[in-house]
Structure 1
Amino acid sequence: MSTPRFLSGSLALGLAGCLAWTQAAAQDAPAIDFYASLRTQVEAVRPDRDARLDSYAGVRDAYSRVGIKIDHPLGAELALTGQLELPVDSANFRMRDPYDQGDAQRPHGERIRLAHLGLRSRFGTITWGQQWMPYYNAVAAPVDMFSTYYSGFATYTVFRVAQTLSYSTPEVAGFSLSAGYTGSSGNARSTSRIDARRRQIAATYTFGDTRLAAGIDDRGDAGYGRNRLYGLSLSHQAGKLYLAAKFERFDSGNRQPGSFSSDGNKAINLFGSYAMAKTAVKLMLARVENYGDNIVHVGVDHQLRDDLKFFAEYYREGTTAVLTPRRGGLDDFDADISGGHAIAVGIRYDF
């Protein structure tokens, strides 16, 4: 899911130009936000089949990053927005994503997490570049609440895609819509490099402390004639208690049993958390067919300071979706490990 070099360079230059312009033009509130987040864990991993992978203990990055945001008013009802965010693999001491570390065709992996420019007005927000996708934001994010490297895998969709054009409406009477379109070269890096276009649409409705969302992730042909993912999510905040559920189903021409995108594959997630002062306890039970299958995820977060968090988690998967060798990533994936569990403790320091 990495951004092509010419596009990354163009967006980076565009952001740099916008930053220089806003510094010269803005004499009141600053429009630039520099940020960084160090997220590192110590883990003990035990695969179910040690004939394929020995148990080990080691250090792994939990999605550290550094970035710049801009949000500059261009008038009473128009603002320029932008973001450039780079991954930092603190365990391997490299500027890359700890999961998408690269392979023979892309030896550097994902070198950019986010690189986008946009305009926000009372009619909505339009954004171009590598960004969080509409379907993920609406459907998958409500159950993606953990802190370790093992967060976010209990879904079939992708988080960020290059060369995406998106639009989101303002919220009206609780309703909002969002949509995204990705050209074939951008989607090729998130759909097994198949030359196909990607289209997403999602709707949300918020009433009180409850949020309902539905979305479609049309992943393009992908060699199967069709490859669509339908999803629903429901979340509710009841004081210190947060509850969420997600359901996804593939509608594809893939009749091969046991594969990631087989027609009819379903994902069901049940998530709950309870906050007590500076401590939050989390639990997710999930069934993601052919991608982890039966999953149990338990976590505790403790906020030591506003900028420093301690976390500890237990993760168990019935078949292999995320477990890899020590400090490994996507290119080290081995489905024959047949699942296993991991225990991780770590820190998150924001600055």
Structure 2
Amino acid sequence: MKKLLSIAIAAAVAAPMAVSADTTIYGRLNQNLVMTDNGTTDDWDIEQNASRFGVKGDEDLGNGLKAIFQYEWSVDSSDAGTLGGRLAYAGLSGGFGTVAIGRQWTPYYGSVDKTDINQVNGMNDTYIGSVRVGNALAYVSPNFNGFSAKLALVIDEGGAEDLNDDFNDWTNLSLDYANGPLSVGVSYLAANGSTAATDGSMWGIGAKYSFGNFALFGQYEDADFEIYNTLKTAAETADVDEFAIGAEAYFGNNTVRIKYGEVDKAADVEHWALGVQHNFSKRTMVFAEYENTDTQGAADVDRFGIGLRHDF
């Protein structure tokens, strides 16, 4: 109830600002009906995927300088509850680039995870990196003929990301290139932990190429530490490698997508997914997807889902 009240208050406060061109209220509702077959039971559930409510904007400070902000909540739209914060940052933007402080997208995610194309909840790709992180100081460079750089430092004494007594607990640097149909990103992330379980690094590369009514995606990752790796367990200490490829075809208002990926770890994972999507408009779509996940030493897991998504 308190979380719902906080969102209602935020909406009421932000509503008068919405008439200004520099402040935007936005959101997404993504409702799914999903069947999961784990080899033992078949379960049907109503779920949501990345539903959200947010406020973002900027203020012109003159001389080419702007103040920027964004506050975004994740919302459990399947039962009108909330899941918590997704983004919360403020910063300055100008000819020098952008500097922001708070909870943000990691540079690694934006540069590497090119196969994150599914709409149904739980139909994830084989990506093993971090997505968002709090207590971050980030810099995004200007674009130089298609090239740009992103740097993030996690500075957290005593929080969930606190790994040691140094100034920064981890460092993430990404380099990106985008020009016409091609986009490529490479990223390196290092955790400065005080123990073997919290110290290590990972790197990855991702690419997307569009041509005609088609697009191809690909990514590769190598990780050798525990704490920010969602597919590792405390018992695993060896490197984890991941690759994934995917494709989309566009026919009018319809999209067909397919992807395949593997994770090389103690219990190897093989994953593939197929989906179709129809866009009623730029903001409303329906979709159906199927995936199979084969984990070494365990039964296959099959998932099928249909859904409706509306953005505002």
Q: TM-score range by the shorter chain?
A: 0.7 to 0.9
Q: Distance in 2 between matches of 1:57 and 1:93?
A: 19
Q: Say which SS state the counterpart of residue 224 (structure 2) adopts.
A: strand
TM-superposed deviation, 1:187: 7.0
Q: Distance in 2 between matches of 1:180 and 1:206?
A: 20
Deviation per residue, 1:189-219 (Å, 9 max, x gap): 5xxx855812100001234321221111213
TM-superposed deviation, 1:56: 0.7
In 1, are the aligned partners of 2:33 and 2:44 still within 8 Å (CA)? yes
Deviation per residue, 1:121-153 (Å, 9 max, x gap): 11101111111111111111x211111113544
Q: Say which SS state the counterpart of residue 305 (structure 1) adopts.
A: coil
In 2, are the aligned partners of 1:116 and 1:131 still within 8 Å (CA)? yes
Aligned twin of 1:340: 301
Q: Distance in 2 between matches of 1:198 and 1:166?
A: 12
Structure with bigger strand share is 2
**Equivalent of 1:41 in 11, 32, 54:** 32
Aligned twin of 2:292: 316
**Change over 3 Å in CA distance of 1:162–1:252 after alignment to 2:** closer
Q: Between the two structures, name the one with larger relative contact order (CA 8 Å, sep ≥ 6).
A: 1
Q: Give, as a single letter, the amino acid of the residue that structure 2 aligns with 1:276.
A: F
Deviation per residue, 1:108-127 (Å, 9 max, x gap): xxx10111111111110111
Q: Say which SS state the counterpart of residue 150 (structure 1) adopts.
A: coil
Deviation per residue, 1:229-265 (Å, 9 max, x gap): 11011211112211111000113499xxx94564321
Instruction: Tell me whether 1:75 sits opposite 2:62 in the alignment.
Output: yes
**Equivalent of 1:224 in 196, 209, 217:** 196
In 2, are the aligned partners of 1:213 and 1:234 still within 8 Å (CA)? yes
**Change over 3 Å in CA distance of 1:36–1:194 after alignment to 2:** same
Q: Say which SS state the counterpart of residue 129 (structure 1) adopts.
A: strand
Instruction: Tell me whether 1:55 sits opposite 2:42 in the alignment.
Output: yes
TM-score normalised over the length of structure 2: 0.84
Q: Distance in 2 between matches of 1:204 and 1:340?
A: 35
Q: Say which SS state the counterpart of residue 146 (structure 1) adopts.
A: coil
Q: List gaps (5 residues or longer) in structure 2.
A: none
Instruction: Tell me whether 1:156 sits opposite 2:128 in the alignment.
Output: yes
Between the aligned residues of both structures, percent identity stands at 22
What are the residue-to-residue correspondences of 1:4-15 with 2, within 5 Å?
none
Q: Give, as a single letter, the amino acid of the residue that structure 1 aligns with 2:310.
A: Y
**Change over 3 Å in CA distance of 1:253–1:299 after alignment to 2:** closer
Query: For this pair of structures, how many residues does the alignment match?
Result: 296
**Equivalent of 1:240 in 203, 213, 223:** 213
Q: Distance in 2 between matches of 1:287 and 1:139?
A: 15
Q: Give, as a single letter, the amino acid of the residue that structure 1 aligns with 2:283.
A: D
Q: Distance in 2 between matches of 1:306 and 1:33?
A: 17
What are the residue-to-residue correspondences of 1:103-252 with 2, within 5 Å?
111-140=84-113, 142-185=114-157, 188=160, 197-221=169-193, 223-224=195-196, 226-252=199-225
CA RMSD of aligned residues (A): 3.1
**Change over 3 Å in CA distance of 1:292–1:124 after alignment to 2:** farther
In 1, are the aligned partners of 2:66 and 2:92 still within 8 Å (CA)? yes
TM-score normalised over the length of structure 1: 0.76
In 2, are the aligned partners of 1:70 and 1:83 still within 8 Å (CA)? yes
Q: Distance in 1 between matches of 2:49 and 2:268?
A: 19
Q: List gaps (5 residues or longer) in structure 1.
A: 97-110, 321-335
In 2, are the aligned partners of 1:188 and 1:195 still within 8 Å (CA)? no
